[in-house]
Amino acid sequence: MSVVLIVDDNTPLAEDLAEILADAGHRTETACSGEDAIRRVLRGGIDILVLDLRMPGMGGIEALRRLRQTGVSVPAIAMTAFADEATKVHGIEAGIRAVLDKPVDYARLETLINQIAA
């Protein structure tokens, strides 16, 4: 069973996404900022990241970059409410498997997580 960390400053959304993925059979945790996410990942045990690209303070891209620098290569799915950001980020960050537009297509999120977890 994979552990998915969902990172979004919109906490109720992060909690809902966690619940949706839990229903799909994954273990989930949530974090509410880039810094928070880095701290949690470095403690170990996280298999997949789902993270918002734009958050107050440290955004998703910066958080991923720092994790990569420390040698952590957890696969990630990015989410963004800014359509133009989705095209910019694609392929830049190794380890970003997909960029989902917000509002999130939950079925697609489930499929992607299942694929990565498999």
Partner 1 sequence: MEASLLRTRRERAGGRAGLGILSGPAHNAAVSEPFLDEVKRYLLWTDADADALRDAHQALAPQLSEVIDIHYLRIVEHEDARRVLTGGEPQIARLRRTFETWLHQCFLGPHDHAYLELRSRIGHAHVRIGLPQRYMITSIGIMRSALRPLVESLIAAERRAATHVAIDKVLALDLTIMLEAYQNDTLDKLARNERLATLGQIGASIGHELRNPLGVISSSAYLLRKSVANDARAARHVTKIEHHVELANRSIADLLALVREVPPTLESLPASALVHEAIEAAALPASVRVSVGAADTSVRADRGQTVQALRNLLANAAEAMRGSGAIDVTIEPDGDAVEIHVDDAGPGFTREMLGRAFEPLVTTKSGGVGLGLPLVRRLVERQGGKVRAINRPGGGARLTLRLTAAQNGPGHHP
Which residues form the interface with partner 1 (CB under 8 A)? 10, 12-13, 16-17, 19-20, 23, 81, 83-84, 102-104, 106
The residue among 66 and 102 lying less far from partner 1, judged by its C-beta, is 102
In degrees, to the nearest 5, what angle opens at C-alpha 79 toward C-alphas 4 and 34?
65
For residue 43, the minimal CB distance to partner 1 (Å) is 26
Q: Provide DSSP, 57-88.
A: SS-HHHHHHHHHHTT----EEEEES-HHHHHH
The residue among 41 and 51 lying less far from partner 1, judged by its C-beta, is 51
For residue 20, the minimal CB distance to partner 1 (Å) is 6
Residue 7 CA to residue 11 CA, distance in Å, equals 8
At residue 67, φ and ψ (nearest 5 deg) are: -65, -45
For residue 68, the minimal CB distance to partner 1 (Å) is 27
The residue among 8 and 36 lying less far from partner 1, judged by its C-beta, is 8
Residue 77 CA to residue 56 CA, distance in Å, equals 19
For residue 12, the minimal CB distance to partner 1 (Å) is 5
Residue written as tokens 């977890």?
Answer: 117
The residue among 20 and 67 lying less far from partner 1, judged by its C-beta, is 20
